[in-house]
């Protein structure tokens, strides 16, 4: 009713309600390069298309005369009652959308009481976002680094910053073949974007210091402070980095620090040698619930349960990693069946509104992750834009539930749908 009341009083929305118009407005709000990064996917973007097409293969089957005058969108997730079945999926390099970046998203998530998964590739340190969110729910998303010390440090910081869960993203041990970014010669991290969790981390600073020391040379060793690290990346951002990483044009720099910082980042960003056995280590670092993001196969869901994980996120990273891959909505029922209700199963990738959320819930998702749409809202109108996009998802789900004859999320099930 808040959305309609605003319309009645003539208040125009800060962001387009229509999802196609939303993307179009975001395109206008940011640079071509930033839009390519936010909107793009892997290869020919067939996985992105498949994610959307999968929703089109289901239709909501309405029932009538069931007294839907009051509706309950709440769910139980990781031992807590949540007001709605939404979470905000982690989006790195949010500074590409808006200078307020992760802090703006955190404020919007807090205002709506929707858990926000803070990205490992954030543009603002997790402590800053946590402070902006007060006591509202946040989780931390970890890209499993080749440095155990860094993993332990990130997780410890997340605990101190009040994060309620660790979400380990498993589909980005290598960076996807991102055609739009490749054409724009854009790789955010070597340009010093989306690296705030690193520049604010004492273990990362120590790794850079060690690398500088190994590099030999004369002169005083820099004290690697967060400020110095940030400026090292700023030098990299200026474009010198490509030459530096290639090992050329060193005279551009008086100190070897920028090169060491960028090289250290590239070294520790991920670890493609991870296996299921590696999971045990994470358990040593934290007693927080651990969720695995990027589970697409029922057999992997079963293995995850064997390893005692507390939740799964069925995700293909919004089609940004593998081209021509399986749609998440198609993967969902098999995973849900294998999990058998033992842990929550969250779905993201391709969700573009409340009706999509309804479909995912009907196919067994416990909750639904919003991705690009809130990044577009951020690009258009900062924190207000994020808030409106998320609120619109909630409002559309509420109406869809009521119109289809459902009073609560618990009533949404396989019988609520028909294969198209
Ligand atoms: C992402 N995603 C992502 N996932 C993650 O685990 N860590 C991250 O840092 C990021 N960064 C990121 C940046 C951008 C610009 C996008 C679009 C996505 C993936 C994200 O969490 C989620 O899985 C997808 O966005 C869901 O797909 P849709 O809804 O965007 O299609």
Q: Where on the phi/psi map is residue 205: left (φ > 0), alpha (ψ -120 to 50), or beta?
A: alpha
Ligand 1: atom nearest CA of 318 is 27
Mean pLDDT over 159-183 rounds to: 93
Residue-level pLDDT at 218:
57
* Residues with active-site annotation: 317
- Kindly indicate the confidence band of residue 190, based on its pLDDT and cuts at 50, 70 and 90: low
- Kindly indicate the confidence band of residue 217, based on its pLDDT and cuts at 50, 70 and 90: low
Which of 22, 143, 291, 371 to mutate to test ligand 1, by most ligand atoms within 8 A of the CB atom? Answer: 371
Q: Is 140 helix (H, G, I), strand (E, B) or coil?
A: strand
- Kindly indicate the confidence band of residue 229, based on its pLDDT and cuts at 50, 70 and 90: confident
State the distance from the centre of ligand 1 to the C-alpha of 102, rounded, in angstroms. Answer: 13
Helix residue ranges, H only, 190-339: 196-199, 202-214, 226-235, 241-245, 257-268, 279-285, 298-306, 328-339
Residue-level pLDDT at 406:
98
Token pair listed for 303:
């293995």
Q: Whose CA is nearest to atom 18 of ligand 1?
A: 91
CA-to-CA dists, residue 196 to 72, 120, 204, 280, angstroms: 38, 9, 11, 27
Report the DSSP pairing between strands 290-293 and 311-314: parallel
Question: Which residues neighbour 89 within 8 Å (Cβ) at sequence distance 6 or greater?
Answer: 117, 313, 315, 348, 369, 370, 371
- Whether pTM > 0.90 for this model: the answer is yes
Q: Where on the phi/psi map is residue 5: left (φ > 0), alpha (ψ -120 to 50), or beta?
A: alpha
Q: Indicate if the pLDDT at residue 53 is higher than 70.
A: yes
- Kindly indicate the confidence band of residue 239, based on its pLDDT and cuts at 50, 70 and 90: low
Closest CA to 390 of 17, 58, 61, 138: 17
State the distance from the centre of ligand 1 to the C-alpha of 364, rounded, in angstroms. Answer: 21
State the distance from the centre of ligand 1 to the C-alpha of 220, rounded, in angstroms. Answer: 41
Token pair listed for 18:
């229509």
Closest CA to 337 of 313, 357, 365: 365
Inter-axis angle of helices 32-39 and 372-403, nearest 10: 50
Which of 91, 145, 350 to mutate to test ligand 1, by most ligand atoms within 8 A of the CB atom? Answer: 91
Q: Whose CA is nearest to atom 13 of ligand 1?
A: 91
Residue-level pLDDT at 388:
98
Scan for tokens 């996120």, then name that residue: 313
Domain 2-174+271-419 architecture: Alpha-Beta Barrel (3.20)
**Cβ-contact 168, 142 below 8 angstroms:** yes
- Return the minimum-mean-pLDDT range out of 112-116, 196-200, 257-261, 292-296: 257-261
Ligand 1: atom nearest CA of 313 is 23
State the distance from the centre of ligand 1 to the C-alpha of 317, rounded, in angstroms. Answer: 5
CB atoms within 10 A of CB 363: 22
- Kindly indicate the confidence band of residue 221, based on its pLDDT and cuts at 50, 70 and 90: low
Q: Where are the domains of the chain?
A: 2-174+271-419, 185-268
Summarize pLDDT for 125-169 with one digit per residue, the tens. Answer: 999 999 999 999 999 999 999 999 999 999 999 999 999 999 999
CB atoms within 10 A of CB 139: 23
Q: Indicate if the pLDDT at residue 337 is higher than 70.
A: yes
Mean pLDDT over 35-49 rounds to: 96
CA distance 8 to 1: 10
Who lines ligand 1 at CB under 6 A? 37-38, 51, 89-92, 119-121, 141, 169, 293, 315, 317-318, 320, 348-351, 371-372, 375
CA distance 275 to 297: 16
Token pair listed for 376:
């577009």
Which of 23, 92, 196, 389 to mutate to test ligand 1, by most ligand atoms within 8 A of the CB atom? Answer: 92
Summarize pLDDT for 240-282 with one digit per residue, the tens. Answer: 544 444 443 343 345 677 778 888 998 999 999 999 999 988 9
**Cβ-contact 30, 379 below 8 angstroms:** yes
**pLDDT averaged over every residue in the chain:** 92
Token pair listed for 170:
């498993």
Q: State phi, psi for 100 to the nearest 5 degrees.
A: -75, -15
Distance of CA 229 to the CA centre of its chain: 25
CB atoms within 10 A of CB 62: 13
Q: State phi, psi for 156 to the nearest 5 degrees.
A: -65, -40
State the distance from the centre of ligand 1 to the C-alpha of 218, rounded, in angstroms. Answer: 43
Mean pLDDT over 63-79 rounds to: 98
């Amino acid at each position: 009713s808040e959305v309609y009341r605003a319309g009645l009083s003539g208040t125009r929305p800060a962001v387009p309600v229509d999802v196609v118009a939303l993307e179009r407005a975001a395109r206008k709000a940011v640079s071509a390069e930033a839009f390519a990064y936010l909107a793009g996917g892997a290869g020919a973007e067939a996985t992105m298309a498949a994610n959307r097409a999968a929703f089109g293969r289901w239709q909501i089957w309405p029932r009538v005369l069931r007294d839907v005058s009051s509706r309950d969108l709440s769910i139980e997730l990781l031992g807590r009652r949540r007001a709605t079945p939404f979470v905000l999926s982690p989006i790195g390099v949010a500074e590409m959308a808006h200078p307020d970046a992760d802090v703006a998203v955190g404020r919007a998530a807090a205002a709506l009481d929707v858990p926000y998964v803070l990205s490992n590739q954030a543009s603002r340190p997790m402590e800053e976002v946590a402070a902006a969110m007060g006591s509202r729910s946040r989780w931390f998303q970890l890209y499993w680094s080749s440095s155990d010390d860094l993993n332990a440090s990130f997780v410890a910081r997340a605990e101190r910053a009040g994060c309620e869960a660790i979400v380990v993203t498993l589909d980005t041990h290598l960076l996807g073949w991102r055609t739009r970014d490749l054409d724009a010669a854009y790789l955010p991290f070597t340009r010093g974007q989306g690296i705030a969790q690193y520049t604010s981390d004492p273990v990362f600073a120590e790794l850079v210091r060690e690398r500088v020391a190994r590099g030999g040379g004369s002169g005083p060793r820099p004290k690697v402070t967060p400020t110095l690290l940030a400026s090292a990346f700023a030098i990299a951002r200026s474009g010198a980095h490509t030459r530096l990483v290639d090992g050329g044009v060193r005279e551009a720099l008086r100190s070897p620090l920028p090169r060491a910082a960028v090289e250290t980042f590239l070294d520790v960003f991920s670890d493609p040698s991870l296996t299921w056995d590696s999971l045990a280590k994470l358990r040593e670092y934290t007693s927080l619930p651990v969720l695995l993001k990027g589970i697409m196969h029922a057999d992997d869901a079963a293995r995850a349960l064997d390893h005692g994980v507390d939740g799964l996120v069925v995700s293909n990273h919004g089609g940004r990693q593998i081209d021509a891959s399986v749609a998440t909505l198609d993967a969902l029922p098999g995973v849900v069946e294998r999990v058998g209700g033992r842990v929550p199963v969250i779905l993201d990738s391709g969700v573009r509104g409340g009706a999509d959320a309804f479909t995912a819930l009907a196919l067994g998702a416990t909750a639904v992750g919003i991705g690009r749409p809130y990044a577009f809202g951020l690009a258009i109108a900062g924190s207000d834009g994020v808030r409106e996009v998320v609120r619109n998802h909630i409002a559309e789900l509420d109406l869809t539930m009521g119109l289809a004859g459902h009073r609560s999320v618990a009533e949404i099930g396989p019988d609520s749908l028909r294969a198209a």
